[in-house]
Amino acid sequence: MNTYQPSPNQRPEDRARDRIDQMLVQAGWVVQDKNKINFNAGLGVAVREYPTEDGRPADYILFVNRKPVGVIEAKREEEGHRLTVHEDQAEYYAKSKLKYINNDLLPFVYESTGIVTRFTDFRDPKPRARPVFWFHRPETLLEWSKEEKSLRTRLQNLPPLDPTGLRDCQIRAIRNLEESFKKNRPRALVQMATGAGKTYMAITFIYRLLKFAGAKRILFLVDTRNLGEQAEQAFMAYVPNDDHRKFTELYSVQRLRSNYIATDSHVVISTIQGSTLFSKARSWTRQLRR
């Protein structure tokens, strides 16, 4: 949680950079000035005002294991509603040659005011910025850097669905969901009649995301605790067509009973309860940053 309190004498640009510094530190980065670089200080080092070959400094260059992997374009708070206007500027620095380093394109690009932050992964088939809660941790960017393809790229190569044991409505739902994801439309609504097998359809789709797209963690939201228990039982009973083991033998499923989320959980089942939603969402957000 960002608890930064700005000084009344600071310029808006300075306040934004102070907030960004604090966010980076909380995400596990070591923030340094360009004339005091020490790559041994941590896995992830964020260098302020790092120069490019043409002399224009980037606001922040993110180094992981001494290798540049990302850039942050910092803007004052008043620019938060129009951060998309600055995406070209951020992309310019991502494609720039850095001084003293023979670098390729920096794939991980942020625009941030310290309050509003947008992120682009240039490894995606059609890169586009999207809002994020926080900066990713160095460990996350290191893991992504080692992957041959991004998640959105892997979604393009899902194998054909085996329709065995599925109803026509379930087959259509899964195929349409996957088509939506392939077209970089991650928000989708499935409308099915009561008793049509929505949970079974959802688990089949989740299984395909985990196995074939390499998804790391999926949040399964339900209205009530009773539905959460039913969903957990459904995951425990589910056996995929291409494997004789049950879902819970292949992947870890956790039904939330507190704010704790296990680091090895592949599926987290949570209720939407007014009294606990905020605390669970906060815990979920903190875990996602790791």
For residue 28, give both structure tokens.
Answer: 């596990």
* End-to-end Cα, the chain, rounded Å: 14
| Of the listed ranges 125-129, 171-175, 258-262, 275-279, the one predicted with least confidence | 275-279
- For the chain, the structural domain boundaries read 12-147, 152-288
With both helix axes pointing from N to C terminus, report the angle between 198-212 and 168-182 in degrees, rounded to the nearest 10.
40
Q: How open is the CA angle 130-43-126, to the nearest 5 degrees?
A: 25
Sign of CA dihedral 131, 132, 134, 135: negative
For residue 15, give both structure tokens.
Answer: 């306040």
User: In b/e form, how buried is each residue of 61-77, taking b as 16+ CB within 10 angstroms?
Assistant: bbbbeeebbbbbbbbeb
* 77-99 average pLDDT score: 77
- Indicate the pLDDT class of residue 7, thresholds 50, 70 and 90: low
Q: How open is the CA angle 35-38-41, to the nearest 5 degrees?
A: 140
For residue 80, give both structure tokens.
Answer: 């938060």
Q: Determine contact, residues 110/150, Cβ cutoff 8 Å.
A: no
* 182-206 average pLDDT score: 91
For residue 208, give both structure tokens.
Answer: 């395909």
Q: Model-level pTM?
A: 0.76
* 174-194 average pLDDT score: 89
Question: Which residue intervals of 134-264 are DSSP H helices?
Answer: 138-146, 151-154, 168-182, 198-212, 225-237, 247-250
The three-class DSSP label of residue 119 is: strand
Q: Which amino acid is at 169?
A: C
The model's pLDDT over 246-264, given as tens digits with 9 standing for 90+, comes to 999 999 999 988 878 888 8
- Whether the per-residue pLDDT at 163 is higher than 80: the answer is yes
- CATH match for 12-147 among 3.30.930.10, 2.40.50.140, 3.30.70.580, 3.90.1570.30: 3.90.1570.30
- Whether the per-residue pLDDT at 173 is higher than 60: the answer is yes
Could you give the strand order of the β-sheet that contains 267-271, starting from the edge strand earlier in sequence? 218-222, 267-271, 253-255
- CATH match for 152-288 among 3.90.1640.30, 3.90.550.10, 3.40.50.300, 1.10.10.1100: 3.40.50.300
Q: Find tokens 């892997």 and name the residue.
A: 154
- Whether the per-residue pLDDT at 4 is higher than 50: the answer is no
Cross-strand pairs, 44? 64
- Indicate the pLDDT class of residue 100, thresholds 50, 70 and 90: confident
